[in-house]
Structure 1
Amino acid sequence: MPYRVVEYDSDPTGMPGMEVLINEWAAKGYSFHQAVRESNRWVLFLSSNEFTSCS
């Protein structure tokens, strides 16, 4: 399963801004998997909703 790692620097909107970012990636076919806080930023892990076959 392909993953995408996205950094999120807390802007003035805070958590609602993170939700908007997650929704934008969901529209691109990714599901939120995990968020990890590092100092003053977040690292979001998103997984692809697309299935790939191994031939």
Structure 2
Amino acid sequence: MINLLPPQYKAELKEEENWKLTLILSILFLIFLVCSTLILFSIKISISGRAEAQKILLL
């Protein structure tokens, strides 16, 4: 397929494509950070619950 767009429009399309890609990757990275934080928080709660159970058993 032959691209008949002028060079200026090609550059604008490429810039828009790069912007969308950057936005998508940023959103995915933020989702990853939120999920990681929630997983670590749930592990912390689980471990602290087990520690409290051990304290009760030792008394």
Q: Which has the higher helix share?
A: 2
> Structure 1 or 2: larger strand share?
1
Q: Which structure has the higher relative contact order (CA within 8 Å, separation 6+)?
A: 1
Higher alpha-carbon Rg: 2
Under a length normalisation based on structure 1, what TM-score does the superposition of the two structures give? 0.30
TM-score (norm 2): 0.29
